[in-house]
Amino acid sequence: MNKPTLPIKTDRLTQSQSMSIITSTVIGVSVLMLPRTATQFAFHQGWIPIVIGFLVSLAGVWIMTLLCIRMQGRTFAVFVSHVLGLPRHTWIGKVLGFPIIVIYAGYWLMFTAMAARTFGEVVVTAVLVDTPLEVTVASMLLVSLYLCLTKDKVVFRVNEFLFPLMVVPLLILGLLALQKANFIRLLPLYPLETKGILNSLHGAVITYLGYEIILQFAHRLSPETKYMRANLLGVGFVGLVYLLIVVAGIVTFGHEELQRLTWPALELVKTVNVPGLILERAEAVFIGVWVAAVFTTAGNYLYAGSRLICDALGIRKTAYLSIGLIPVLYVVAMYPRNLFDLFAALNRLSWPGILIGIIIPLILLGFTMIRSRGAESR
């Protein structure tokens, strides 16, 4: 009698996990400041840059997914060296690919530190006012370290588990925030604040960055699975959440008042009255959801940055490197002296973000298309 065969366990990335990773990484630090930054130059039309930034992010995710499919099971570090190298001179690919790996790993690790610092600033301001900032920052870094002590499949499942716990409450809170809305504050719709919209467009685009992290997990993609729809849907959830929060902020406070609020999204949630007195303070739910969002953002970035360095150097275990990086990231996180320095540091990170989120993937995709055409001609 034949024994029943057990299903083979794999570490392949499913569609839902890919969607969850993109959404969980993108939604994080910027959501609390979004209503203020979106209306800083565009005023009452601050929702328009959010929509345009969403369309740009859709194009970026489309390019990123095409690139991931062409990686054919290679890690990102190996793929970059392969694409930029020559068949007889592989060392050229390693030399040209090294700066790209440094840029990606450095950006991901730097953003991990800034995410932890932002988390600490919000917590000591709104929740634990007597807790030292150093403790909250160190706590987030140590919690994020947990993901680096695991494997890819654990990271996938953590993001998949937290995905509905983040997106659903944010959508509900965004809708409930419209209770005290005065939609006249969205008028006039015409003429457009063209100069203000263009000035706000850069900030709107960078709020969607984070989807590029899927490059580090592309070697787990299954060739039989279609990821394009899932990845586009993942950033679609982010666009819906962002649009709701910005519109709710404008119609509730007005664009002038939003410029006076440090964390406008948090102040917006404080105006929410849950029907039936089920929940007296809705901001408690929002902060809990936001903590989960920052954890996935910082944890995913820390894991991806550490894993990329290990792949480039041929190191198998990520844990030792990640543990060694925590003190360095803590020093970087505590370097900004105040909120103004923190916001300035986040703004400086935006330009490398555009580079790794759009420009470099587009260049690599072009190289892969040229190489594939050359192979077909031969």
Q: Which range is least confidently modeled, 28-32, 136-140, 290-294, 325-329?
A: 28-32
Query: What's the rounded mean pLDDT across residues 181-207?
Result: 88
The residue type found at 5 is T
Domain extents in the chain: 20-366
141 vs 109: CA distance, rounded Å: 11
- The predicted-structure confidence for 83-133, as pLDDT tens digits, reads as follows 887 777 777 888 888 999 999 999 999 999 999 999 999 999 888 888 899
State how far the Cα of 190 lies from the Cα of 261, in Å rounded to an integer: 27
Q: Give the mean model confidence (pLDDT) for residues 203-214.
A: 91
> What kind of fold does domain 20-366 have according to CATH?
Hydantoin permease (1.10.4160)
CA dist 109 and 297 (Å) reads 11
84-93's contacts with Cβ under 8 Å and 24+ in sequence apart are 84/367
What's the rounded Cα separation, in Å, for the pair 110 and 106?
A: 6
Neighbours of 242 (CB within 10 A): 28
Q: How does residue 6 score in pLDDT terms, banded at 50, 70 and 90?
A: very low
Residue with tokens 């929740």, as numbered in its chain: 127
Using an 8 Å Cβ cutoff, are 59 and 344 in contact?
Answer: no
Higher-pLDDT residue of 2 and 330 is 330
Using one digit for the tens of pLDDT, what is the confidence trace for 248-266?
Answer: 999 999 999 999 998 999 8
CA gap 303, 251 in Å, rounded? 39
7 cis-preceded (ω within 30 degrees of 0):
no
The secondary structure of residue 71, as a DSSP letter, is: T
| Token pair 């039309």 in the structure block, residue | 45
Mean pLDDT of the residues in the chain: 88
Residue % of the chain over a pLDDT of 70: 94
Name the 3-class secondary structure at 84.
helix
